[in-house]
Structure 1
Amino acid sequence: MREESYSLPSAQPLTEAYIRREDERVAALYGYHAGAEEDWETRLKQLGQNSSKRADAAQLARVLRAYNEAAHAAPEVFDSIAAIASGAPVVVGGQQAGLWTGPLLVIHKAVSIIGAAKSASKQLGQTVVPVFWIAGEDHDWDEANHAYVITTEQELRKLSAARPDGGRTSVSRTRIEDDKWDQLLEELEQALPSSEFKPVMLEELRQMSRRARSLSDFFASILSHLFGKHGLVLLDADDAEIRQLEAPMFKTIIERNDELERSYQYSAGQIKELGYALQADVTSGSANLFIFNTANGEERTLLHKKDDVFQDRKGLLSLTKSELLSVAEEQPTRLSNNVLTRPIMQDYLFPVLATVLGPGEIAYWALTGEAFRTLGMEMPIIVPRMSYSLIEGTVAKHMDKYELSFGDVMTCFEERKGQWLKQQDGLSIEEQFAEARESFEEQYKPLLALATSVQPSLAKLGDTNLQKIIEQINYMSAKTVDAFNKQFEASTRQLDRIHLSIKPLGKPQERVLNMTAYWNRYSLSWLEKLLEAPYSRTGGHEIVYL
């Protein structure tokens, strides 16, 4: 299998400093480092010493078993769950549910979780279970409801589902009816090119949709289908049974809310002092918890504190600490974590050896270190997720034809495209027009001086006349170049296909394209190539040729 690596900057200075160990001061924000083998041994030992502080492993396994059965999990998944019941450590990572899994980076996250768990199992000589945390409690519908695919006409098309009527509740609680699934699958069928694998893929997706009440359900079924044989365990953060297990930690977060707030502010101050920007809001008076407001269609509402009372921003919903503690004990399904308390909850549920995070996540997890310590816990090992670019055979052939490297496409595509077209111009069209323009200006200037000497007021008219003639020469030059370039429309389409495939919307492929395009063309062989590609605990970008 042909592969190569490429350095793809993350645009997150704090993340880069952690991964590359370029700033030794950053180490204190995270504790462990994914690239240090001894840290994996140390973290495993620490997990064994603190098992009594976590949720009951047998009860957690029971909940996971029921959820994964509903997602039609493979036998390997239930082997993983049995290991969790016996106290096995896990590597966990997650993402919000997206339509047909959303952008490719979601697939890359799952591949990275599996890779990290295998790597840790090999080093430690024991089972380490891969776990995917579906952030079904999130309520950002516009982030979850769409998928981008490249059509038969080599155009990028966005397929999306409108939010059903009702409050802004979680994605997992937003019901999708069967006719909407049918409509979306019909749109997908029309958008994707014909292939030998298309009918089977669509039928499998159709069967999954029949048992899906929400985007999260559909998401779980697809991940189960794609990664079940690799033992990837799934959970939905908004699962009612999971919420019951989380009740004790919700109570702790409420009881020690002021301490936690000071912890987040302390870490935020450290990060700023080191010269890095914050990647999550640390707001004074925030409880860092959401509540599902039953009086408003289960709208997911962020809680704030004022005089020991928890309320929404407008003060329309108000609960005393005692009342909120009762909610945590009796109705934990009404509570939900935010980005700063979710890491703590994750570590309470599981013996988390390591967590796989994207660049932005690594940056904001730096805010949680002091909060972990405040609760007598410890941040797990932070593992940067791998990223990949899938290069199809036709695209690779075109890249060779036009002598384009992957780096050229990512950094200077338009320039290289323009250079190639210019090289085809044996007539030197632009140069000839430039020479004519310069020659005209030289001959016209003495005439302009002559006119001005006869009548000074003609100077302005002469300048205007000169500019109009120059504009007409430039216009004719551009039209001639366009006419010439039309001879190379086939080449232009090939060049544009390269860019669309590798850097759609001017972004890395993984942030835009949906995996159904590759499933449609290659069945699941493309996924196997990702799983077989080189893996690194410190992340990286691999180019995988299909």
Structure 2
Amino acid sequence: MLVASSFSASWLRGDPRALEFLPDHFRHRAARAEAVSAAASRTVAPALHAALVARQSRLAPSPSRERNLELLARPGTTVVVTGQQVGLFLGPLFTIYKAASAIVAARALAEETGRPCVPVFWLQTEDHDLPEIDHTFIPSAAGALLRVALDVPDAAQSRTPVAHRRLGASVTGALATLRAELGGQSHADEHLALLERAYHPEAAMADAFAEVLSTLFADEGLVFLDPRDPRLAPLSAPLHRRAIEEATAIASGLAERGGALGAAGFSEQVHIRPGSPLGFFSPDGLEGARYRLDPASTPGTWSLVGHPEGASVTTPQLLSWLEREPLRFTTSALLRPLLQDTWLPTAAYVGGPGEIAYFAQLAPLYAHLGLPMPLVVPRARFRVIDDRVRRLLDRLGLAPEDAAAPRDALLARIAARDTGQDFEPPEAIEARLVSAFASELARLGERTASFEPGFARALSRTDKTVRGGISRLVARYGRAIAQRDQVTLERVDRLRAYLSPDGAPQERIHGLPYYACRFGSQAFTRRVLDACVPFLGDLKDLKP
């Protein structure tokens, strides 16, 4: 079975199996026009607009943002939405790519249809997973990956929505680490001064995040929405009520959809629990711990999953709290898009691979709630090839995509090329040896099965022992190849740290500070915007 993230790859390739669950309407101008027309029939509620205006007033002035706020008050205006968890110093690079993609897509839809379209960034502040957002990574001068993080002792145990988290004193140390590592770069003073203004101990994580991102995209008028804004809580109550009262029907439709995804060779990005209302409840107050709601054995009762005392709550109690304090309720990953599209005239949502996989599950939920599903648009994907990376690629004689290869295989390839000898990649040797041995072992098992049943246990023990020995031998072979040339080894490690850190795409690991300090905050942001091609989603090399 394919893993969930492969749904996005299959969808982007135009795989018919994937298109059955999520049409690629973003590719077709006529379908884009239909989505805009459908969204234009909805309007932004005055209460929501007032909350948006108040939220933007806390940001640095932006005439473009003011114009977009005015447009949102007018009937017929649509939006392109993207969003992200409020990671330290903006989190991974793809945060910038998402924002730029939404801006470029909104601009393109407005030009195609003649209808105003505003880019909106959804600050995901309802989540409580602090270890996902309390850090950022930068490549150090030596090419190694440097983790810059807050010191939050209870991070792993925290269940408080991150909207209510202050940065605390440890942010000063994180900023000092950035300055020590990046302070000598050409544009360090500019970018670090921006971070130091926003990220101070008393600041909320969401406010610091929004201040920096809004400064970078001030000229584009990016509008920010925080679902934990108390002014918006009453507007979320109707959706939470339906999610609770209609939980069985909703979960049943989503489970059926999950089964169809499985039959097509995909797995669910989000596991559906029978009868779950797709929401969280904070029993101890607005800023208290939140717990997922699951149906309990007693009808009309809900378990608070993970509660230290195993607490539960009844449906009448939930609905009473929802009427009095709707801010006690928060969405799950699958309910959040529905809240977004209940509030906003969404023509398109810009997302990454995981979010695309969410939307593959969501058609039954949109249908149940009578909402049109927006266009789903893949965010831009970039691989930054700066001067340091270019020098390494030239010296190693490699292309950027080579950095994603397994380290030992890459070293074997370079060694074979440079010496003229055929150094077979270690994983190929291991596969060949294991295959040959397994074949002979199976043959031996067949011969002995009829007269010595206990022999199978001996075969199993031998198989485990030999596989372990082969693995150790091949690892030694790989190290021997690697150590032939220490300079090449170091260059390969630096290249992989820049382009494929920890074996992952650069954009998912590296944060902005390294690139902003080297090339300038606005210059790098502008380069990303200029390189964004609306409605594409292909990986492109960015060469600042």
After TM superposition, the score normalised by the length of structure 1 is 0.82
Q: Which runs of 5+ in 2 are unaligned?
A: 424-473
What is the aligned partner in structure 2 of residue 169 from structure 1? 160
**How far apart are the structure 2 equivalents of 1:341 and 1:199?**
41
8 Å Cα contact 2:483/2:489 also seen in 1: no
Q: CA deviation at 1:383?
A: 0.6
What is the aligned partner in structure 2 of residue 440 from structure 1? none
Percent of aligned pairs with the same amino acid = 27
User: 1:20 aligned to 13, 17, 22, which one?
Assistant: 13
User: 1:352 aligned to 346, 363, 374, which one?
Assistant: 346
8 Å Cα contact 2:261/2:268 also seen in 1: yes
Residue 71 of structure 2 is aligned to residue 83 of structure 1: yes
TM alignment of 1:181-200, pairs within 5 A: 181-192=171-182, 194-200=184-190
Q: CA deviation at 1:295?
A: 6.5
1:363-417 deviation line (CA, Å, top 9, x unaligned): 1222111111111112111111111011112321331233211222223664444
**How far apart are the structure 1 equivalents of 2:286 and 2:520?**
44
What is the aligned partner in structure 2 of residue 463 from structure 1? none
User: 1:128 aligned to 110, 113, 117, which one?
Assistant: 117
**How far apart are the structure 2 equivalents of 1:512 and 1:481?**
28
TM alignment of 1:121-520, pairs within 5 A: 121-163=110-152, 167-177=158-168, 179-192=169-182, 194-210=184-200, 213-294=203-284, 298-306=288-296, 307-313=299-305, 316-411=310-405, 414-421=408-415, 485-486=485-486, 489=487, 492-520=489-517
Q: CA deviation at 1:419?
A: 4.2
Aligned length: 484
What is the aligned partner in structure 2 of residue 116 from structure 1? 105
**Judging changes above 3 Å, is the alpha-carbon distance between structure 1 residues 338 and 416 closer, same or farther for their aligned structure 2 residues?**
closer
**Judging changes above 3 Å, is the alpha-carbon distance between structure 1 residues 352 and 422 closer, same or farther for their aligned structure 2 residues?**
same
Q: CA deviation at 1:479?
A: 11
**How far apart are the structure 2 equivalents of 1:29 and 1:512?**
29
**How far apart are the structure 1 equivalents of 2:362 and 2:218?**
31
User: What letter corresponds to residue 222 of structure 1 in structure 2?
Assistant: V
What is the aligned partner in structure 2 of residue 541 from structure 1? 539
User: What letter corresponds to residue 174 of structure 1 in structure 2?
Assistant: R
What is the aligned partner in structure 2 of residue 29 from structure 1? 21
**Judging changes above 3 Å, is the alpha-carbon distance between structure 1 residues 414 and 80 closer, same or farther for their aligned structure 2 residues?**
farther
- 3-state SS of paired residue (1:543): strand
Q: CA deviation at 1:170?
A: 1.0
**How far apart are the structure 2 equivalents of 1:383 and 1:73?**
29
> Over alpha carbons, which structure has the higher Rg?
1
8 Å Cα contact 1:60/1:85 also seen in 2: no
User: What letter corresponds to residue 128 of structure 1 in structure 2?
Assistant: C
**How far apart are the structure 2 equivalents of 1:481 and 1:338?**
48
1:73-105 deviation line (CA, Å, top 9, x unaligned): 522112112111114110101111101011111
Q: CA deviation at 1:482?
A: 8.3
Q: CA deviation at 1:221?
A: 1.1
RMSD of aligned C-alpha atoms?
2.9
**How far apart are the structure 1 equivalents of 2:362 and 2:492?**
45
Residue 36 of structure 2 is aligned to residue 44 of structure 1: yes
**How far apart are the structure 2 equivalents of 1:259 and 1:184?**
47
User: What letter corresponds to residue 162 of structure 2 in structure 1?
Assistant: V
**Judging changes above 3 Å, is the alpha-carbon distance between structure 1 residues 72 and 210 closer, same or farther for their aligned structure 2 residues?**
farther
User: What letter corresponds to residue 8 of structure 2 in structure 1?
Assistant: T
Q: CA deviation at 1:185?
A: 0.7
8 Å Cα contact 1:164/1:175 also seen in 2: no
8 Å Cα contact 1:310/1:319 also seen in 2: yes
User: What letter corresponds to residue 104 of structure 1 in structure 2?
Assistant: L
**Judging changes above 3 Å, is the alpha-carbon distance between structure 1 residues 242 and 123 closer, same or farther for their aligned structure 2 residues?**
same
- 3-state SS of paired residue (2:388): helix
**How far apart are the structure 2 equivalents of 1:275 and 1:395?**
38
- 3-state SS of paired residue (1:129): strand
What is the aligned partner in structure 1 of residue 52 from structure 2? 64
